[in-house]
Chains A and B, each alone.
Chain A
Amino acid sequence: MREFIDYIERTREQYDTLGYPTYQWVHNEDAPPFAPLRKPLSESTVALVASGGIYRSGQIAFHYKDDISFRIIDSATPTDELRVTHFAYDLTDARIDPNVVFPIDTLKAMVQEGRIGQLAERAYTFMGGIYSARKVRDRLAPALADRLIENEVDVALMVPV
């Protein structure tokens, strides 16, 4: 029987066991905003935004305590210069192949196949698991949206962990 893991429920069980106060997950009951595609993806510039804690060699790594910073990663960065750091998931496979959380080579293959027009010059990365939803909503989200607008991308692919 196929059943999806309920991470909200498992976090609740785990926090209870550890004696931590219950984590308050964000629940948005209202319908999300919806911007229709303006052109086919085969003609679109696609931006990659990922929260798996990816940085490039030469950049400052993320720290594990309420880090709301982000990194700008040039899409031409060789994959072997990518690094991954995060406090909340098993990094083994992401360090073997960053594409599992930062599908940059996969998207380049989609450009080759003609499935997307092009990859935006800059990708954006941060480290998810930020405890404060308010900081994400008030600081990080508007800052990233500003960058994507400035970069004139057509669509954004969001890759959390």
Chain B
Amino acid sequence: MGLIAREVESRGIPTLSMSSAYSITAAVNPPRAVYLDYPLGHTAGKPNDHENQRSIMRDTLRAFEDIDSPGAIRTLEYEWSSDHSWKDSVMRPDKSGASSDARVERYATPQYQDSDDETLVEEGCPTCVFLEN
């Protein structure tokens, strides 16, 4: 996403990138970023916790307006839980040796959330844009 932010910004549109992976964001070096110390898959907050999501967004928008130094990453002051033990198992084998990797096989066919979705696809899907590989 950082590469896209850099391209969009270079074309004159200011961007702010949210992130839950500090080292990756720092390496790609987008124009402006906020960092939220939450597990991957929660870049914009906790599920169904509207106050949490809105508070994070208010802080994010404030950073969007404040950051005046290219490449700055502002850490947002939120914690996923009072202890940080969730971090121990991320991408690491558990005690039984089983991998905690959430990745799945790289199927080359569309992977629908609901099996019904496949039958509901609109003719030609005008809002799906496929680029030449």
Contacts and interface: CB of A to CB of B under 8 A. Distances in A.
Interface in B56-105: 56-58, 60-61, 64-65, 68, 70-71, 79, 84, 87, 90-93, 99, 101-105
B67 to A, nearest CB: 9
B77 to A, nearest CB: 11
B129 A69 contact: yes
B90 to A, nearest CB: 6
A32 B14 contact: no
Interface of B: 1-24, 27-31, 35, 37, 39-48, 50, 53-54, 56-58, 60-61, 64-65, 68, 70-71, 79, 84, 87, 90-93, 99, 101-114, 117-118, 120-122, 125, 127-133
25 contacts: A3-B84, A4-B37, A17-B93, A33-B31, A37-B64, A49-B4, A51-B1, A59-B122, A64-B105, A64-B106, A69-B130, A71-B127, A72-B128, A85-B111, A89-B102, A91-B41, A96-B48, A97-B47, A106-B54, A145-B8, A145-B11, A157-B15, A157-B60, A158-B1, A158-B18
